[in-house]
Structures are given as C-alpha cells and as structure tokens.
Structure 1
Amino acid sequence: DAVMSVKASALIFLLQVFGQSWSQNRPRPNIVMVMSDAFDGRLTFGPGSKFVQLPFVNYLRELGATFLNAYTNSPICCPSRAAMWSGQFVHLTQSWNNYKCLDANATTWMDLLEANGYVTKMMGKLDYTSGGHSVSNRVEAWTRDVPFLLRQEGRPVTKLVGNMSTVRIMGTDWENADKAAQWIHQRAASSEQPFALYLGLNLPHPYKTESLGSTAGGSTFLTSPYWLEKVSSELITVPKWLPLAALHPVDYYTTYTKNCTGSFTEEEVRRIRAFYYAMCAEADALLGQVIAALREIRLLGNTVVIFTADHGELAMEHRQFYKMSMYEGSSHVPLLIMGPGLKSGMQVNQLVSLVDLYPTVLGEEDGYFSKMQHPDWVLSEYHGCNVNASTYMLRSGRWKYIAYADGLSVPPQLFDVTRDKEELHNVVLKFPNVRAHLDKRLRSIIDYPEVSTTVHLYNEKAFIAWQHTLGNNYSKVIGSLRWHVDWQKDALANERAIDKWLSDSL
C-alpha cells in the first residue's frame, strides 16, 4: 500500500533524526503536541526568526530539531488537521473543505496510543471532523465553479487593544493552556503510565471582524502593545506584488474573494504584518506554558515535545492574507521536535509534511520500518473556498510545481524556491522538461484530474442537498452569507448563475 509506504518511510527518517530510537530498556516517553493555527513556519528559523521574539520556539530549536521544509497537506484548518490526525492525504480521507473532513469515529494516532497503554488527553482546537465551520464557509466552497466573483472576506485590518500590561488577549487559548499545565501536574502525581497530550491553539489566526456582522470571517489582526514590543518593526519588509493583470487566474480569483484587490499603503501592509507577528509571539507564550509545566515537575527529559501548525498565514504576501494558497507563507508550517535521544540544535532539510506526524508519535511501538526511506517530495492539495479550482502542490528538491483542476483547463505554475524565494517568477514555460517530469511524478502519487472531478461532483450534490433543506427560504439565506455586500448588488443575476451551473451539470 503506497500510503503505508509513505507513512513508514517518514517514520524511520524521523527516528534516525532522533539519533536513536526509544529502546525497550528505557521508559516510553510522554508525548506532548502543541498545534497552533496559521503560524508561518519560516518564523522558526533564520532570517524569519529575526522579525519577532519567540523564546519558547527558540528553546525547542536549541534543544531539539527544527525542520526547515515542513508543509501542510492542505492549507486550511480542518482538512490539514484531518491529515495530521489520520496520517492520510486529503484525497484519501476526502476532506474536501472545512465542512467535510474525518468521520467522528475515525482512528487517530491518539486512539492508537491509548490502545497501547498511554493516558491521553486532547484540549483546545481539534477541528478535524466533519460538520463544523460556518454555512458561508461550506457554501462558498461548493459554489466555487459558479462564474461569479464575490468578496467572501472582509478587507484585512488591524486593531490595537489594551496597554503594556495586557498579556492574555486570546482568552480561550490561555484558559486551555492553563488547563493543559494543570493536567500535566495531575498526571505526574497520579500515574506511572506514559501520557500523550494534545493542545490546539486558535492563535495566531486572525480574529472575526465584528463590524461586518454575524456571518463575517476573520480579517482582523488584533494584539496589544505588550506583544507589539516583541516585534522588530524596523526589519519588516513590504512584500513585492505582481500587477493585478499579471496574476495567475486562480490567484486573481483568490485575491478578489479575499477583498485584497484595492489599494494598500506600505504602512498598512507593514502594520498588518507587525500585528500578525505579535500574535505569533502570544502563541509562543502559550507553548511556553506547557514547556514550563513539564519542566516544573521534571518530566521534560522524558517527553517528546512537538510544535507545529495546521497551515501558515500570507500576511499580505502576494496581495493576500489568510491561507488557501500553496505559496510559502500559507503552506510552510513550523515543525520542531524535542525529546530523549534527539540531538540538540539540529536543522533538518528533509521535506516533511503533517502526515508524517502520525507515524512519528507511534514510533516507539514499531520496529518494522527499519529499511525504508523517506520520499524526497511532499504533497499538498486544496479543494475549499476562496479558490476556484482544485489545487495540487508537489514540492521536490528546488522545485515547487502547482497543478490545477484537470491539468489542462487552468495553467500550472513552477517555482524555483531556492532562487526565487518570493515566488514571483513562474518558470513553467522556461523549463518544459521539468514541468513534464514533475507532472508525471504528481500523477503517480495522485490521479489529480480524477480527484478534481470527484470534488466537483461532491460540490454539486452537497449544494443541492443544502438548497433543498431551505425550500423557499433559499434566496434569503444565501444572500445573507459572508458575500452579502457583493451578492446584493445583483442578487437575481447571482441566483441565475447558480441555476445555470447546476443545470449544466445535469
């Protein structure tokens, strides 16, 4: 089974990184994973790490391993977490959007640890099973093939709250971090069994923009002076943008739906980026709560600590905020691992992705995979809202190849990420042999035209089923979703566009 081969080979690579696998003569380690939301992985190593003070990320980096090329398997919350928890790629679990992910009874690595004698606990943001997120989120994903262009997000803005003593801004995260620390103390006092703890954070995900109403998305970058002081504002750069007319057609659609086609001053862009980095600093402090608890009860030496994220944040790179993109700001995630047998200060260039965490945390249970090698590529795919074509990214060596839909109707992109770190130069026409090689390799991993067709059919069926539940109330409901400002400009034309999309597919 190809998927098991990927899992298995990922496992042996990561265990080799540890310098030695956990032997049967020493106690099984505790496992603690902290997964943040929307954390740009490039901030965990230079030069990105210079933008903001992240003392606990640095602590993990100095005492453990930093993976310099770690990627999400889908740049959006629920599908990426489904891949991490299941160890399977998105097209295998059919986690097509934030509404459709894993079944509630799906087996996760946490379930397997529990079956093998671990005491387990999951806290905070889980977000990997079907049925969640807003109606807007799912309807926008289902209707992405409809030929209309509607803003689905609020324009990105910043908001400063409190003063230099305002530390706990994301209250829910702090409450969960406190509970996690308390749980660690209780476990140490009550049992000799090894434990596995997962803490999911909301930060540094942008906050809901309240002024846009009850259906608004998260377009507010919010922090306090306390956290802004952790940011090296003088080092923040304004990303280069291509002219709107030069954008790839999918990028143009995405930029428009994210409400970023208007004009932004350099100061606006710098401010958004500074506030985002400040939110990352607060997330780092939450990681610190867990590390401190382990250190206080002297369990740090026998605990594997993992810090990662579901995806990144563009923070105005490529004229976008949020995720839903294969550009580095969106797809590159942090991965730092510290634990017994792991050499300090390692920087690992190997390409890895979130599906690799499944076999990694189960590593001490299995010696089967000793002769297997990790593949030299990673796969990411996206099928949700704000993007009007299924998207597939193959990262291999210096190249990032991005294919869309059926591989014919939407042109692909090719970036040399070693020479073009800003990903502004699509060289797909310059290197036709590279394109052909990578496309063949991608198709050997995933039949992406077939997957795109499957998603297209799912979107139609899911939308029709939802529409039928509303009856005569359909127009009113759909017109009040996140896109309501643009929708109301010509509601009748938009309804007709949906009707034509559905009739054409019958």
Structure 2
Amino acid sequence: MEKQVSRKNVVVIMSDEHNPMYLGRAGHPFIKTPHLDALARRGASFTDAYTPSPICVPARAAFATGMRVHQTRHWDNASPYTGTPESWGHVLQRNAVRVESIGKLHYRNATDPVGFDREHLPMHVVGGHGMVWGSIRDPILPIGEGKRMLGENIGPGESPYTEYDRAVTHTAVEWLRDAAHDDRPFVLYVGLVAPHFPLTAPQEFFDLYKDVNVPEAKLHPNAGAVRHPWVETYAQCIPNEERFRSAQERRNAFLAYYALCSFLDDNVGKIVSTLDQTGLFDSTHVVYTSDHGDNVGARGLWGKSTLYQETVKVPMIVAGPRLPIGVTCDTPVDLIDMYPTILDVAGLRWKDEMAGRPGWSVLRLDELPNAQQRVIVSEYHATGSNTAGFMVRKGRWKYHYYVRFAPELFDLETDPGELRDLSAIPQYLPVLADMERELRRVCDPEAVDAQAKQDQTAFIDSLGGRDAAAQMGERGATPPPKTKIAA
C-alpha cells in the first residue's frame, strides 16, 4: 500500500532484563539477534544507555514519568506506578494523540489512569501491591527455601512467559495492520518479557546454542573473587548460583538466557516486519530498549539488583524518519530520556512538558553542552539491600556510592569489565570526591535512604507488619495474565 509519510507514529518496544552485551550488534561473538541488528542498521544505537534503577517497577515508573526514583518514591517492586506524576502518555492524551499499550507494564492495575487510551493484555504487579516481602530491609528478609527465582525448569521448553510474549507479539501485529487503515497518528507501547527469567526457552531457539562453549563467568567467588559487602548481602538474600541442581543445569541457564534473547529478537522482527509490510515504517519512529539488564552469572549473580554494567546498562535503538542510518552514539543516555524523546518524535513541543524533569530527547544530544561528560545516576532501594546504592556515570568514570559501605570506582576507558576497583588507591581520591559531589548535586543519598525506608516501613505496617508482609508477593517471576492466540 502507499506509504504514509505525513504521519508521525511511534512504536516503543520494551523488553525485560536484556543485558545489552547480548546483542550481535554489540559485538557479542555468538549471540544471534539478526532483527535487532537490522533495526540498528536502520537507525541509531546508543551504546551507553542506563536504567534509573536495576529492578523492574522503579525503572518502569521512571520510564513513564521521566523522573528519578527518589523524586517519585517508587522504591521497589511493591510500589508500582498508579498514574502520578504525569506520564508521557498523559501528555499525548492531552494533545489528542492516540496512545495504547500491549503487554507488560508492571504498574498497579488496569484501572489506574496511567496515560493509555486502552491497555491490551496488560501485565501488572500481583494484587496491586506486588512483591511486598522485598520491601523488608535493614535487616533484609532472606528469600529462603521454596520457589527458585530463576524457575523450576531451566532449559528448553515453553513457559507462561514465552506464551505471553507470543500473544503480545500477535496482538501488536494485528493492531498495526488495523492502524495502517486509520488516518490517525499513534503511539503504541509494546511490553515483551523475554529474556527475563524463568530461564526456559523455546526449543528452536535453545537449539541455536546447544553446541556453544559457555565462557567462564567473570569474578566468580569460586575462583577467588571477593564480592563487595553490599553486593554480598544481595547474594545471600537470593542465592541463585547455589541452587542449581547440577553443572548441566547451570550450563542450561546460560544457554536459556542466550536463547531467550534470540526469542525476543524474533518477536521484535515480527513487529518491525509488519511496519514494513503495511507501509508504516517510513512514517514511524521505532524505539527498542529494556527496563534493566541481567548479571547472567557474573560475580556468581543472576537477575538484576546490582550497580555493575551488566544490570544498570540497557540496550537502546531508535530508528525513524528523522534519524541518520546506521550510526552509533556513545553519549550517555538514560531511560528517563524516553519521556522527552517519545514526545519529540511524536511531533510535540517536548521542552514545554518537562516541568523540571532531568531528561533530554536523544534526537537532540548535539544541543547539550559537553555531552560526553553528562552525568547519569541510577539508584537501588529494593530486595536484598540493607541500604541504598547509587551509581554515577561521568565520562570515563563509574562510581558506586553505598550508604554505610565503602564506595567503588571504575575507569571504564581502561577497564570496561569493571575488574579493578580503584576506590582505595590514593591517587584516585580527587576523582572519588568529584563523583560524590556530582551525586550530591542530584540528591542527598543518606536522606533518600531514610525516606525510602520510612515509606517502606509505613507500607509494611499498613499491611499488618513484618510477619504479614513476609508472606506477600511472588518469590520468582510475576505471573502473566492468561492469554490465547487466535487461530
């Protein structure tokens, strides 16, 4: 059909727990992501993109509102977004732009006014309150025995999550086919779950990696590495590595993560192919990103919840009519930049809608003075942490500030794998001082830590206290809604 070049459409695809190193485009030696690689060749890849928080609910609330976690006080997986502060969806609605969602949001429920005209197959936190046990901190509540976080069946197969992603993708494809016959411009958000655990991957994708020689995980305690005490607390709270039943099952965990990245890629490919088939691609900006990354065995850790590159970095690809083709941008960016970016590509006056929000449209990074020294902050106040942790990225330096614990400092220019903490070396004291000053320009970390704990304690007390809260919420992955793909 005829291309509709006058329209300003946006498709935002957000996955869950996608470590950006696991992309062919990122130079991974064997990961197969042909569709995401092709999308990157049609637009811009942001190699230094970060999450505002390395855990689902706070990251998604920040993504929606364009505000930092400590600004909105969505601290953990039991404090979901309810519709305030205003989201980019609300701005689109006020400007009469059609805006709908399909798939995972991880907000409170489907009735809150979060900024979508309609939610299709929405996945929200369980019971409207989510993982309350994870709000118990200082001292933390160890996860103990019972359901394994990574899943009971690790390896090839289907799970409710893979079934859900298939249904979300099918619904998105049908939605776009219908939209091609509608003159109204639109913004469509698509929330996919892979490669989030459970680590069960469809056989056809698992088979892509069955002969792979799995690389040794870096900085593993079994090889003599010593984890930072703040990180060790998290590791003891959720002991994933210790709960593999065999060496083969541990290998399967790696293969399943690789396979889920390829499964995700296949679903993204179906969505982008539909844009091409319907003639919508030339009038549509496509954004691909994730809410946070995954440790994938590094330091003996799985899941998110640390401040290392594996979990605080996210993939980010933006393709569309107003972007150069096949470029790579290493200016640091943040998921909170998606608030102005989505408004910008939708054709709105985004600067008029910021109201003190710290983000910037990624299409206009050349307008920022000294952009390479832009400061990015991520923070964590959730499961397995007795105290708050803050990450600061500025230029070549990456700094971790842990309340009541010693900091960490890494030179990403000479040590991109964060193998050597420089914080105890006297010559780096001026760098440490500068990075702490940058953090304190953004917030008072001790005051934020105290506020988070005050809010979490009040919430726990409202539910009957610590003992009652300890029994509330999933120990593993949030269950998706029941779905069925039409024949």
**In which range does the TM-score fall when normalised by the shorter chain?**
0.7 to 0.9
Residues in 1 aligned to 2:164 and 2:473: alpha-carbon distance in whole angstroms? 26
Question: Counterpart of 1:217?
Answer: none
Question: Counterpart of 1:448?
Answer: 445
Q: Deviations over 1:431-453 (max 9, x none)?
A: 21111110011101111111011
For the pair 1:249 / 2:229, whether they are aligned, the reply is yes
Question: Counterpart of 1:499?
Answer: none
Residues 266 and 350 of structure 1: is their aligned pair in 2 closer, same or farther, counting only changes over 3 Å? farther
Q: Deviations over 1:256-299 (max 9, x none)?
A: 12214638776554432221010111111111121111111111
Match of 1:69 among 39, 44, 48: 48
Match of 1:132 among 100, 125, 132: 125
Match of 2:463 among 462, 466, 472: 466
For the pair 1:37 / 2:37, whether they are aligned, the reply is no
Question: Counterpart of 2:436?
Answer: 439
Residues in 1 aligned to 2:474 and 2:396: alpha-carbon distance in whole angstroms? 38
Residues 236 and 417 of structure 1: is their aligned pair in 2 closer, same or farther, counting only changes over 3 Å? farther
Question: Counterpart of 2:120?
Answer: none
Offset at 1:482?
A: 6.9
Residues in 2 aligned to 1:359 and 1:232: alpha-carbon distance in whole angstroms? 42
Question: Counterpart of 1:385?
Answer: 383
Question: Counterpart of 1:201?
Answer: 192
Asked whether the 8 Å contact 1:401–1:415 carries over to 2, the reply is yes
Asked whether the 8 Å contact 2:194–2:260 carries over to 1, the reply is yes
Residues 382 and 133 of structure 1: is their aligned pair in 2 closer, same or farther, counting only changes over 3 Å? farther
Residues in 2 aligned to 1:312 and 1:147: alpha-carbon distance in whole angstroms? 23
Residues in 2 aligned to 1:333 and 1:51: alpha-carbon distance in whole angstroms? 19
What does 1:403-422 correspond to in 2, within 5 Å? 403-405=401-403, 409-422=404-417
Match of 2:180 among 171, 188, 192: 188
Q: Deviations over 1:450-503 (max 9, x none)?
A: 1011112122222222225xxxxx8587469778xxxxxxxxxxxxxxxxxxxx
DSSP-derived class of the 1:32 partner:
strand
For the pair 1:170 / 2:162, whether they are aligned, the reply is yes
DSSP-derived class of the 2:194 partner:
coil
Offset at 1:420?
A: 2.3
Asked whether the 8 Å contact 2:24–2:30 carries over to 1, the reply is no
Asked whether the 8 Å contact 1:381–1:391 carries over to 2, the reply is yes
Offset at 1:168?
A: 10
Question: Counterpart of 1:54?
Answer: 33
Q: Deviations over 1:46-84 (max 9, x none)?
A: 555333211110111111111100111001111101111
DSSP-derived class of the 2:154 partner:
strand
Question: Counterpart of 2:112?
Answer: none
Match of 1:317 among 298, 305, 308: 298
Match of 1:141 among 134, 138, 161: 134
Residues in 2 aligned to 1:226 and 1:30: alpha-carbon distance in whole angstroms? 33
Q: Which runs of 5+ in 2 are unaligned?
A: 110-123, 352-359, 476-487
Give percent identity, aligned residues only.
Answer: 27
Offset at 1:240?
A: 2.2
Question: Counterpart of 1:277?
Answer: 258
Q: Deviations over 1:156-213 (max 9, x none)?
A: 4653345xxx899711111111111111111111x22211100001111102xxxxxx
Residues 79 and 353 of structure 1: is their aligned pair in 2 closer, same or farther, counting only changes over 3 Å? same
For the pair 1:98 / 2:77, whether they are aligned, the reply is yes
User: Hey, which of these two has a bigger chunk of helix by percent?
Assistant: 1
Offset at 1:117?
A: 3.2
Q: Deviations over 1:208-232 (max 9, x none)?
A: xxxxxxxxxxxxx101331023338
Q: Deviations over 1:390-415 (max 9, x none)?
A: 1110011121101112xxx2111111
Offset at 1:101?
A: 3.3
Match of 2:349 among 351, 366, 369: 366
Residues in 1 aligned to 2:101 and 2:61: alpha-carbon distance in whole angstroms? 15
TM-score by length of 1: 0.78
DSSP-derived class of the 2:392 partner:
strand
Offset at 1:139?
A: 3.6
Match of 1:160 among 126, 143, 155: 155
Question: Counterpart of 2:374?
Answer: 376
One-letter code aligned to 2:407: P
Residues in 2 aligned to 1:463 and 1:437: alpha-carbon distance in whole angstroms? 37
Residues in 2 aligned to 1:415 and 1:467: alpha-carbon distance in whole angstroms? 43
Residues in 2 aligned to 1:239 and 1:205: alpha-carbon distance in whole angstroms? 19
For the pair 1:236 / 2:214, whether they are aligned, the reply is yes
Asked whether the 8 Å contact 2:133–2:470 carries over to 1, the reply is no
DSSP-derived class of the 1:463 partner:
helix
Question: Counterpart of 2:238?
Answer: 258
Residues in 2 aligned to 1:286 and 1:298: alpha-carbon distance in whole angstroms? 19
Asked whether the 8 Å contact 2:142–2:384 carries over to 1, the reply is no
DSSP-derived class of the 1:312 partner:
coil
Offset at 1:361?
A: 1.1
Residues in 1 aligned to 2:93 and 2:313: alpha-carbon distance in whole angstroms? 30
Residues in 2 aligned to 1:196 and 1:289: alpha-carbon distance in whole angstroms? 18
Asked whether the 8 Å contact 2:155–2:249 carries over to 1, the reply is no
Offset at 1:334?
A: 0.7
Rg larger in structure = 1
Offset at 1:233?
A: 4.9
Asked whether the 8 Å contact 2:72–2:85 carries over to 1, the reply is no
